[in-house]
Amino acid sequence: MSEIYTIIIVILAILAVSGLFVGVTNDAVNFLNSAIGSRAASMRMILLVASVGILVGVVTSSGMMEVARNGMFNPGLFTFHEVMMLYLGVMFANIILLDLYNSWGLPTSTTVSLVFCLLGAAIAVTVYKITGSADAGHEMGEYINTSRALGIVSAILLSVVIAFTCGTAVMYVSRLIFSFRYTRVFSRFGAFWCGASLTAIVYFALFKGLRNILEGHDFIRLVDSHLPLALTICWAVCSLLLLAVQKLKINILRVTILAGTFALALAFAGNDLVNFIGVPVAGFDAYHIAREAGTTDLLMEGLNENVPANFLVLLGAGLIMILTLWTSKKAMHVTETEISLSSQRDEAEQQYGSSFISRTIVRAALGINAGIERVVPRRVREAIGRRFEYEDVEHSGAPYDMIRATVNLTTSALLISIATSLKLPLSTTYVCFMVAMGSSLADRAWGRESAVYRISGVMTVVAGWFITALGGFLIAFVVGLVLIYGGTVAFAVVTLLSGWMLVRSNLRRKPSAKGEQAHKPQTADDIIRSLTEEVGRTMESATRIYDRTLIAVFKENRKVLREMVKESNDLFYQSRERKYTLLPTLRKLQSGDVDTAHYYVQVVDYLNEMTKALMHITRPAFEHIDNNHEGLSREQTEDLMHINDEVESIYRHINLMLRTGDFTDIDMVLELRDRLFESIAEAIKSELTRINAGRSGTKASMLYLTILNETKSMVLQSRNLLKSQRYFLDHKGQTTDWLSLTK
C-alpha cells in the first residue's frame, strides 16, 4: 500500500485527539452546568465527579462505531481510497465546525455535527463516483442514507418543544411546593422529593449510560416488564437512604446534584464517544481491511460489520476527555452562555441584543399575563407570587439555587431515559439546554429587565443548531470534493490549513478577553483604578479621533473616516458596557459610602454621553463623504479649523490633569469651554448667513451644523466628566496617591 495512506491514518489519529478536545469542550455544558450554576460543590469536586463518570462511561461502553462505519452511507459501494477521503473530509469539517462553536461560546450537538458532516462528505464522494464513471450503475439514493439526517432534524424540533415545556412545568410545580425559602419544607419532605429525582437519575444511568452493556440483560428485561413497581421500589429505597443521610446533617441536594452530574457524564462518555473517535477508528478498520487484501481498489463491504473498538483505545479516549475537561478554557466559555441565560440575577450585562421577534414574544407574554390576572383571584395571585419571591437562602451568590439545579438534572435525565426506551429521536444537548431555559422561565428569572435579551440568546443558540447541520454539511461537502478531486496536493493544503486554524484559534493570545478579565474590578480600590484608567484612555482617544475626523472631512478621506467611525463606536460600546454593569459594581463599593457611589454614577454617565456625542460626529461625517456629497466650503473649513484648535487646547488641559491627578487648573478649562461655546455660536450665525445668501449647500450645511452642535455637547460632557472625576477621587482620598494607582 502507498505510504500516503499510512500518513492519512496518522493524520486521522491526530484529528481524533483534536476531535476529543473540541467535542468535550462543547458537550461538557450538558453535565457540568447544573452543578456549576448552583455551586453545589467546589469546581474541583464537580470536575472530579464528572471525570469519574466519564471514565466509567468509556470503559463500560461497547464502543460500537456503526454510525461512522455505515450509518450515513453504504460502504459496500465505495473503494478504500474513496472511504479514506470521505473520512478525512468528515474529520476536518467536524473539528473546524465545533471549534468555531466553542470560540463563540455556543452549545451545539456533536451528534448533529457528525451526522451532517458524514452526509456532506458522502455526497461529495458520491458525486465524484457518479460523474467520473459512466457505468457507476447506482443512483444517489443507493449510496446515501438520508433518513438518518431527517431523523436528526426531527430530533431538534422534538427536543426544543418537549424539553422546554417539561422543564417549565416541573420547575413551576417544584417552586410552588418549596418556594425560594425552602429550608423548613425541605427538612420534612426533601428526602422524598430528592428520592424521586435520584430514581430518575438511576433510571437514566441504566437505560442511557449503561445501555450498551446491559441491553438484553435479564435484570433490564425484568425492570421493563414491571417498570411502575421497579420505579416505586427504587424511589422508596432512595428516599430512605437520603433520609438517613439528611439525619447526618448532610445536604442531600448536593448529593443529588453530584449524582446527576455523574450520571450525565457517564451517559455522555458511553454514548457520544462515537462522535469523537468513530470516524478515525472506522478509518483504521478500513486501512486494516485494505492492507490484508493488498489493494486500494477493494470495496469496503467489511465496514458493514459492527466491530467493538479496542478497549485501550476507549480508555485512552476517556483519559483525553478527562484532561480536556480539566484544562479547556473554552468549555467554561460555553458553560457561561447557558448560565448567563438562566441566571436568577438580571442586572448583569446581557451578551445578546434585542430583536424584533424577542420584543414581540415579550409583549405577547405580557398581554397573556394581563389576561390571566383578570381571571385569577387576587388572593391566589398574591399567594403564588410569594412562592416566587427570590431569596438566596443558600447565601452562595450562585446564578440559581440547588432546587432548580436538581430539577434541571432530573427532568433532563427522565426525558432522555424515556426517549431512549421508546427509541424516540431526542438530542441530549438540546434536552439539557432547553430544560434549563424552561426552568429559568418558570422560576421567573426572565424578568422584564432581561427577558428580551435572554430570548434573543436562546433564539441565537437554537438557530445555531440548525446552522450546525447546514454548516457541517456544506463544509464537509466542499472539503470532500477538494480532497477527492485534488489528490495529494489538496490533502497537504487542507491539512496545513486546518492545523493553522486550530492552532490560531486555541493558542493565540486574546488581548480583549484576557484584558477584560485582568482589569475586571473586584474591590473598591480596583473599581477606582479601573475607572480612572478608562477615563484617561477614553479622553486621549477622543482627542485623537476628533482631530483626525475633522482633518479627514477637510481632505474628504473616506478610508480614515471609516477607521474613525469604528474607533468611536468601540469607545461608545465600552462605556456603555460599564454603564450596564453599574448595579453589580456599586455593590462592590462600600455599602455606606453613598457619595462615592454617587460620583461613580456621574462619571460613568458623563463618559457614556461624551463618547455618544463623538460617535454622532464621526458617523455623519463618514456618511457624507461616503455618499459623495459636496465637501465643506473654504469658509466652513476655516471655521471648523478654528473650533478644532480650541477643542484641542481644552482636551490638552483635561488630559494633563487626568494623567497627573492635579486638578488645580480646572477653572481654566471652564473659561476655555465658555470661549469655545462663543466661537461655536458665532460659527452657527455665520452659517445661517451663508444659508440665507444661498452660499452653502444643504448637505454640507447639515454636516457642518451637526459637527458644531455635537462638539458643544462633547466638550460640555467632558468638562462635567472632569469635575466629577475630581470629586470621585477627592472623596476617596486618591488625588495625592494618583501615581500609585496608575502604576
How far, in Å, CA of 165 to CA of 114, rounded? 27
Residue-wise DSSP of 631-683: ---HHHHHHHHHHHHHHHHHHHHHHHHHHH---TTHHHHHHHHHHHHHHHHHH
Selection from 158, 258, 262, 161 nearest residue 204 by Cα:
262
Amino acid letter at 729? Answer: L
Amino acid letter at 649? Answer: S
Same domain for 604 and 482, yes or no, is: no
How far, in Å, CA of 40 to CA of 406, rounded? 10
What number is the average pLDDT over the span 35-62?
A: 87
- Three-state SS for 144? strand
Amino acid letter at 342? Answer: S
pLDDT confidence band for 224 (50 / 70 / 90): confident
The pLDDT of residue 165 is 92
Residue that is written with C-alpha cell 444511568 in the block: 205
Output the CA–CA distances (angstroms, integers) from residue 567 to 548, 643, 703, in the order listed: 11, 22, 20
What number is the average pLDDT over the span 402-409?
A: 92
pLDDT confidence band for 414 (50 / 70 / 90): confident
Q: How many other C-beta atoms lie within 10 A of the C-beta of residue 43?
A: 13
The CA-CA-CA angle for residues 300, 470, 463, to 5°, reads: 140
How far, in Å, CA of 402 to CA of 140, rounded? 52
Average pLDDT, the chain: 81
Same domain for 504 and 620, yes or no, is: no
55 vs 588, which has greater pLDDT? 55
- Which cell numbers hold the place of 270? 458511553
Last residue of a domain, one of 508, 543, 566: 508
The rounded percent of the chain whose pLDDT value lies above 70 is 84
Same domain for 178 and 302, yes or no, is: yes
Q: What are phi and psi of 554, to 5 degrees?
A: -60, -40
Selection from 407, 401, 342, 386 nearest residue 174 by Cα:
407
What number is the average pLDDT over the span 9-23?
A: 83
pLDDT above 50: residue 511 = no
By mean pLDDT, which of 500-504, 676-680, 684-688, 724-728 is the weakest? 724-728
The pLDDT of residue 507 is 63
- Which cell numbers hold the place of 343? 441566571
Same domain for 498 and 522, yes or no, is: no
pLDDT (tens digit per residue) in 240-284? 999 999 988 889 999 999 999 998 888 877 767 767 788 888 888
Q: Is 487 left (phi over 0), alpha (psi -120 to 50) or beta?
A: left
Residue-wise DSSP of 377-389: -HHHHHHHHHHT-
How far, in Å, CA of 174 to CA of 168, rounded? 10
- CATH at residue 663: 1.20.58.220
How far, in Å, CA of 98 to CA of 93, rounded? 9
What number is the average pLDDT over the span 195-220?
A: 77
Residue that is written with C-alpha cell 450562585 in the block: 398
Same domain for 559 and 646, yes or no, is: yes
Same domain for 492 and 559, yes or no, is: no
Output the CA–CA distances (angstroms, integers) from residue 170 to 36, 177, 406, in the order listed: 21, 11, 11
How far, in Å, CA of 603 to CA of 527, rounded? 12
pLDDT confidence band for 138 (50 / 70 / 90): low
Same domain for 485 and 429, yes or no, is: yes
Same domain for 126 and 175, yes or no, is: yes
What total of structural domains would you count in the chain?
A: 2
430 vs 685, which has greater pLDDT? 685
Highest averaged pLDDT of the listed ranges 60-64, 407-411, 574-578, 627-631? 407-411
pLDDT above 90: residue 237 = yes
Same domain for 307 and 421, yes or no, is: yes
Instruction: Name, in order, each residue with C-beta under 8 angstroms of 551's C-beta and a sequence gap of 6 or more.
Output: 557, 560
Residue that is written with C-alpha cell 424577542 in the block: 358
How far, in Å, CA of 342 to CA of 340, rounded? 6
Q: How many other C-beta atoms lie within 10 A of the C-beta of residue 383?
A: 11
The pLDDT of residue 516 is 44
| DSSP letter assigned to residue 692 | H
Same domain for 387 and 482, yes or no, is: yes
Rounded to the nearest angstrom, the gap between the alpha carbon of residue 384 and the centroid of all alpha carbons in its chain is: 33
- Which cell numbers hold the place of 205? 444511568
pLDDT above 50: residue 519 = no
- 3-state SS, 696-710, equals CCHHHHHHHHHHHHH
How far, in Å, CA of 558 to CA of 626, rounded? 6
The CA-CA-CA angle for residues 533, 534, 538, to 5°, reads: 120
The pLDDT of residue 1 is 55
Range(s) of the domain holding residue 686: 515-742
First to last CA, the chain: 65
> Do 80 and 296 touch, CB atoms closer than 8 A?
yes
Same domain for 277 and 300, yes or no, is: yes
Q: Which residues pair with 73 in a beta bridge?
A: 144
346 vs 289, which has greater pLDDT? 289
> Do 716 and 673 touch, CB atoms closer than 8 A?
yes
How far, in Å, CA of 123 to CA of 139, rounded? 11
pLDDT above 50: residue 521 = no
161 vs 351, which has greater pLDDT? 161
pLDDT above 50: residue 135 = no
- Which cell numbers hold the place of 182? 425552602
By mean pLDDT, which of 57-71, 327-341, 675-689 is the weakest? 57-71
pLDDT above 70: residue 370 = yes
* pTM above threshold 0.75: no
pLDDT confidence band for 56 (50 / 70 / 90): confident
- Three-state SS for 508? coil
Last residue of a domain, one of 447, 477, 508: 508
Last residue of a domain, one of 457, 480, 508: 508
What number is the average pLDDT over the span 146-161?
A: 74
The pLDDT of residue 259 is 92
How far, in Å, CA of 338 to CA of 432, rounded? 10
The CA-CA-CA angle for residues 36, 507, 335, to 5°, reads: 15
- Three-state SS for 630? coil
What number is the average pLDDT over the span 148-176?
A: 83
By mean pLDDT, which of 65-79, 182-196, 455-469, 472-486 is the weakest? 65-79
What number is the average pLDDT over the span 682-710?
A: 87
What number is the average pLDDT over the span 191-201?
A: 91
By mean pLDDT, which of 460-464, 507-511, 596-600 is the weakest? 507-511
The pLDDT of residue 582 is 61
pLDDT (tens digit per residue) in 659-684? 777 777 788 888 888 899 999 999 99
> Do 271 and 209 touch, CB atoms closer than 8 A?
yes
Same domain for 400 and 384, yes or no, is: yes
Output the CA–CA distances (angstroms, integers) from residue 686 to 217, 365, 540, 696, 709, in the order listed: 94, 54, 31, 11, 14
How far, in Å, CA of 141 to CA of 145, rounded? 7
The pLDDT of residue 141 is 73
| DSSP letter assigned to residue 68 | I
The pLDDT of residue 737 is 42
Selection from 466, 463, 450 nearest residue 351 by Cα:
450
